[in-house]
Amino acid sequence: MDKFLVFLCFFLSFVLSDADFTGNSSDPGLTSSGDSLCAQLIEPNGYICSEHTVQTKDGYLLALQRVSSPSGDLRVQQGHPVLLQHGLFMAGDAWFLDSTEQGLGFILADQGFDVWVGNVRGTRWSHGHISFLDTDKEFWEWSWQELALYDLAEMLHYIHAVASFKVFIVGHSQGTIMSLAALTQPDIVEMVEAAALLSPISYLEHVSAPLVLRMVAMHLDQIVLALGLHQLNFRSDALVNLVESLCDGQVDCTDFLSSITGENCCFNKSRINFYLEYEPHPSSVKNLRHLFQMIRQGTFSHYDYGILKNLLTYGQFKPPAFDLNSIPKSLPLWMSYGGNDGLADTTDVQRTLEELSSKPELLYLENYGHIDFLLSIKANRDIYDHMIGFFRSLEKPSSY
């Protein structure tokens, strides 16, 4: 066994035995307006915002925010509904971390769209579970599979019912995994007008981010599960120390963000301290393991429990794949991806494109990395103008 892994097992068993991993995620007491996403980031910029709660089939209480421009009126919303779906270790605040001229949530509201902001289970803005506390093992028994088939499905159902129109989806990173998986399901895709995917991911076989590859190689996901952990909260001292130990002598983490996402050309590093006031949000160890399965196996499939539990759960030895070819050819898709993305590698994006029955509109940016698609200082003109043009081309005068 690698000496480093022996050390790591010892290190984890020591520091995690008394570590607090509950953080403030999914606090059932999140009721005061001052604790809401609307109050923290959206209303202070003059935008109109309302908070909504959605319950999933498996009992999680998710937060949705509805946003309108300062000149708008949520009671008489005129634009087409757009759902913004965030990535891994993020939440709905990710779309509002930059200025009103740069943050996509603000930009879409100013353009007259009916903006809805999704927050998956376990994140700060969502509201827990009807039965479990976030200190319970059962609370964290999910992966992106449930985020796609339960969380995203229920948010779309709610928006579709309130707005009375099909919904545009915008996803980034894990938000695109969720979107592509969900769109293979006939009962979900019927609520969607079109999807725009930033750093689109369905396959992760060619990930190049060095720190991610290091964690996969040392089976970090299996180690933390073996130690009885179920929540990943990178605000805890234990996990901060763990990541530092992974970098020490093994991976160059001088530019930590690049070591986990690839090099970003246009990320505003001067705002990192502000971003860290909100990011990262917790996720589950099971979710990390599902993502690592994708890297190791080169698949876009349901969670792999192993042969015996797969038989009990799915009725077959291997987990069923999400069939990208089953996404309707008639569904308009738009994708933007970058040459420096260490997670959404161009080879994997091409595989996704080959398996789709449709031909999405594409925007390729050679120098863009994974985070640039969300926080580039030039994203407005480089990406968002093109995406908004795609949505405008699909709007029908009779829609509103």
Among residues 105, 98, 14, 34, the alpha carbon closest in space to that of 66 is found at 105
Q: How far is CA 340 from the centre of its chain?
A: 19
> What pLDDT score does 224 carry?
82
Q: What is the residue range of 301's domain?
A: 35-394
Residue 42, domain member (yes or no) = yes
Q: What integer is the mean pLDDT of 258-276?
A: 89
**At residue 8, does pLDDT exceed 50?**
no
Please state, in angstroms and rounded to a whole number, the distance separating the CA atoms of residues 311 and 256.
40
Please state, in angstroms and rounded to a whole number, the distance separating the CA atoms of residues 39 and 235.
22
Q: What integer is the mean pLDDT of 323-328?
A: 98
Q: Which value, to the nearest 10 degrees, does the dihedral of the CA atoms of residues 257, 260, 266, 268 take?
A: -30
**At residue 19, does pLDDT exceed 60?**
no
Structure tokens, 313: 């759960």
Please state, in angstroms and rounded to a whole number, the distance separating the CA atoms of residues 372 and 367.
9
Amino acid at 208: S
Residue 11, domain member (yes or no) = no
| DSSP category for residue 179 | H
> What pLDDT score does 20 carry?
40
Distances (CA, A) of 162 to 74, 116, 340: 11, 11, 39
Exposure b/e, 162-173, CB count within 10 A at least 16 = b: ebebbbbbbbbb
Q: What integer is the mean pLDDT of 276-301?
A: 95
Q: Provide the phi-psi class of 62: left if phi over 0, else alpha when psi is between -120 and 50, else beta.
A: beta
Residue 107, domain member (yes or no) = yes
| DSSP category for residue 84 | E
Distances (CA, A) of 19 to 10, 172, 226, 229: 15, 31, 16, 10
Band of residue 16 on the pLDDT scale cut at 50, 70, 90: very low
The total of other beta-carbon atoms located within 10 Å of residue 333's CB is: 23
Q: Write the pLDDT tens digit of every residue in 41-67.
A: 999 999 999 999 999 999 999 999 999
Cβ-based burial of 111 (10 A; exposed 0-12, middle 13-18, buried ≥19): middle
Exposure b/e, 116-133, CB count within 10 A at least 16 = b: bbbbbbbbbbbbbbeebe
Domain of 97, CATH number, reads 3.40.50.1820
Whether residue 341 lies in the annotated active site: yes
> What pLDDT score does 380 carry?
96
| DSSP category for residue 271 | G
Residue 215, domain member (yes or no) = yes
333-338, strands of its sheet edge to edge: 48-55, 61-68, 114-118, 81-85, 167-172, 192-198, 333-338, 361-365
Given the residues 98, 290, 370, 372, the one annotated as active site? 370
- Total structural domains in the chain? 1
Given the residues 221, 304, 341, 348, the one annotated as active site? 341
Long-range contacts, 8-16 (Cβ 8 Å, 24+): 8/218, 8/223, 8/242, 8/245, 9/223, 11/241, 11/242, 11/245, 12/223, 12/224, 12/227, 12/238, 12/242, 13/227, 15/237, 15/238, 15/241, 15/242, 16/224, 16/227, 16/229, 16/238
**At residue 183, does pLDDT exceed 80?**
yes
Whether residue 370 lies in the annotated active site: yes
Given the residues 36, 69, 173, 284, the one annotated as active site? 173
Residue 52, domain member (yes or no) = yes
Q: What is the pTM assigned to this prediction?
A: 0.90
Residue 8, domain member (yes or no) = no
Among residues 216, 5, 37, 18, the alpha carbon closest in space to that of 119 is found at 37
Amino acid at 374: L
Whether residue 173 lies in the annotated active site: yes
Residue 2, domain member (yes or no) = no
